[in-house]
Amino acid sequence: MRLGNIFLTLLFVGAIAAVVAGRWFILETKAPGPLAAEKLVYIAPGMSVKSITAKLLDSGVIRNDLVFLADARWQNRQEELKAGEYQFLPGISISDIITLLQSGKTYQHKITIPEGLMAVEIIALLKNEPVLTGDVAPLPPEGSLLPETYKFSYGDTRQDIITRMEKSMQEELAALWEKRAAGLPFKTSAEAVVLASVVEKETALPNERPRVAGVFINRLNKNIPLQSDPTVIYAFTQGKEKLARALTYQDLKTTSPYNTYVVTGLPPAPIANPGRASLAAVLNPEKNDYIYFVADGTGGHAFAKTLQEHNNNVARWRALEKQAK
The answer to whether residue 162 is domain-embedded is yes
Number of structural domains in the chain? 3
Q: What is the pLDDT of residue 18?
A: 46
What pLDDT digit, counting tens, does each position of 239-276 carry? 988 888 888 989 999 999 999 999 999 999 999 999 99
Average the pLDDT over 28-34 and give the result.
86
CATH number for the domain including 45?
3.30.1490.480
- Whether residue 271 is found in the same domain as residue 151: no
Q: What is the pLDDT of residue 319?
A: 83
Q: What is the pLDDT of residue 27?
A: 66
Count of beta carbons in the 10 Å neighbourhood of residue 162: 20
Average the pLDDT over 1-22 and give the result.
51
Q: Which residues contact 284 (CB under 8 A, 6 or more apart)?
A: 176, 179, 180, 181, 210
Least confident of 68-77, 95-104, 170-179: 68-77
- Whether residue 147 is found in the same domain as residue 249: no
Categorise residue 171: left if φ over 0, alpha if ψ from -120 to 50, beta otherwise.
alpha
In the chain, what percentage of residues exceed pLDDT 70?
A: 90
- Whether residue 155 is found in the same domain as residue 191: no
**Strand pairing partners for 292?**
304
- Whether residue 161 is found in the same domain as residue 191: no
Residue where a domain stops, chosen among 126, 141, 167: 167
Average the pLDDT over 103-124 and give the result.
96
- Whether residue 76 is found in the same domain as residue 205: no
pTM of the model: 0.84
Q: What is the pLDDT of residue 24?
A: 52
- Whether residue 129 is found in the same domain as residue 251: no
- Whether residue 239 is found in the same domain as residue 307: yes
The answer to whether residue 174 is domain-embedded is no
The answer to whether residue 15 is domain-embedded is no
